[in-house]
Amino acid sequence: MTIASVEYIEKLPHTIGEVTQAVSDFESKVQERLHLAEQLKDETEAEEQTSLGLLDLARGEEAAAQAALIAAEGHLAFLIAGAVENPALAFEIPVAMEAASKCREMLDIAKRHRELMEQRYQLAQECVMMATENLETLRLQLNAELIRTKETTAVQISRLSSAINELTGYSSESEHKYRSEYEKWEKYQHKEKEPIDPDEIRTRLNPGREVCLGLLAALRGKDDNFAKTISDYFEEGKTEEGRNQAILKIRKNMTGRLAEEVVKAALAPFGRHVETQKGYVFDDGTYTKIDLVVSDLVAPIILGRGQGMGAREGGSLGVEVKSGKGSYLMSQMGHLVFQAQGHTQCDVSCTICTRDVKDLNSSAEELLRENIRSAGSPILGMLPYKSELDDICIEFVFGGSGNV
């Protein structure tokens, strides 16, 4: 078993597709290259035929010139022999000599041309031999490389396919494991007769990565809109640029949802009734929604030290949830104060936020805490850091590393 750190499992089949395409393109290029060598061989063969035709013509011309010379020389011999008995024939001898000389000259020319055509034909034959040998050598060499490539890629693609199967299997196995961890965590029961104290609340609000992944998986299973959003982020993230955009959206929208769902599931076992987004109308007619109201508490609850930080068994707890970096939490102070006023219908209330509140400088943190405490809903910075929740959401959408 090898360890494989794969960022996108779904990209691996693309790699197989790309390699298969590259092998096919390589094969096309090999064929294209061999075709060029074949074309040249065909050209040399055509040239060989042309040269042979020219040689045949030259041979014919030489034979004709040879015949003309024999005839001219025969005529001259006849005139010389005849001139002994018939002196008048002697007058024709110079013309006949001139004609024979001309024929000898023509024969020389025809002979030289025939020799040249023989040379041409020989060169053409050499070209055919060279082109044939070149084609055969190239065919052997390129086909050998192509066969090697096909063999190697077949073995390695099979390896990649196995890796994909195992990773996909691991991924479903992981999701099953996360959901089972989440279900165990969700079924938590508070110990009877004991008050719910800040340590227990803190522990519940920090369920760990696997539980959070399981929570998200369960949420996807029961909320179609959420499932569609996840699928959209995933699709968008298939390109480099799209992924960056999708991650921004996840950080902006999905992490807040995860924080709310963690708080809801973490605190649900502390009450017999849980309501989310409960509407509240202020005396002046303005309206707000409370993120979470846990009522009919199963035990007394203590949120921290000081007055107004606890409620009796059977009482109610109102909660506002905020996730974000310190500067964001600071910018939300007015909104949180307003929301806190809606919690007054509950016996006790709090604003649960990510641990980033502790990263604010001490005066800013004190200002934020004091303003919200005064409004009646003290801050509990007990959720994990925003960046930790971001990472879990990103891992849930795009997958993480696995064992192959």
Partner 1 sequence: MFDEVCNEVIRSRDLFTENVKDSFGNSISEELFQAFLNNIQSAKLYSDESNFKEGSIRFKLAELRLML
Binding footprint of partner 1 on the chain (CB under 8 A): 2-8, 11-12, 14-15, 18-19, 21-23, 25-26, 29-30, 32-33, 36-37, 40, 43-44, 47, 51, 116-117, 119-120, 123-124, 126-127, 130-131, 134, 137-138, 141-142, 145-146, 148-149, 152-153, 156-157, 159-160, 163, 404
Q: What three-state secondary structure class fits 212?
A: helix
Q: Crossing angle of helices 255-267/386-398, nearest 10°?
A: 110
CB 393 to partner 1: min, Å = 20
Question: With respect to partner 1, which residue has the nearer C-beta, 43 or 183?
Answer: 43
Question: With respect to partner 1, which residue has the nearer C-beta, 29 or 335?
Answer: 29
Structure tokens at 46: 């055509």
CB 247 to partner 1: min, Å = 16
CB 10 to partner 1: min, Å = 10
CB 234 to partner 1: min, Å = 15
Question: With respect to partner 1, which residue has the nearer C-beta, 158 or 203?
Answer: 158
Question: With respect to partner 1, which residue has the nearer C-beta, 148 or 184?
Answer: 148
CB 48 to partner 1: min, Å = 10
The answer to whether 217 touches 396, Cβ cutoff 8 Å, is yes
Question: DSSP letters of 330-366?
Answer: HHTHHHHHHHHHHGGGSSEEEEEEEGGGGGS-HHHHH
Q: Which CA distances in Å does 316 have to 263, 309, 345?
A: 15, 12, 9
CB 403 to partner 1: min, Å = 10
Question: With respect to partner 1, which residue has the nearer C-beta, 40 or 99?
Answer: 40
Sequence-distant (6+) residues with CB within 8 A of 323 are: 255, 256, 258, 259, 353, 354, 383, 386, 389
Question: With respect to partner 1, which residue has the nearer C-beta, 124 or 372?
Answer: 124
Closest CA to 8 of 179, 259, 246, 218: 246
CB 5 to partner 1: min, Å = 4
- In whole angstroms, what separates CA 345 from the centre of its chain? 53
Q: How far is it, in rounded angstroms, from Cα 214 to Cα 176?
A: 8
CB 110 to partner 1: min, Å = 14
Other Cβ atoms closer than 10 A to 294: 26
Question: With respect to partner 1, which residue has the nearer C-beta, 117 or 372?
Answer: 117
- In whole angstroms, what separates CA 316 from the centre of its chain? 51
Structure tokens at 28: 């096309």
Question: With respect to partner 1, which residue has the nearer C-beta, 148 or 252?
Answer: 148
125 φ, ψ (degrees, to nearest 5):
-65, -40
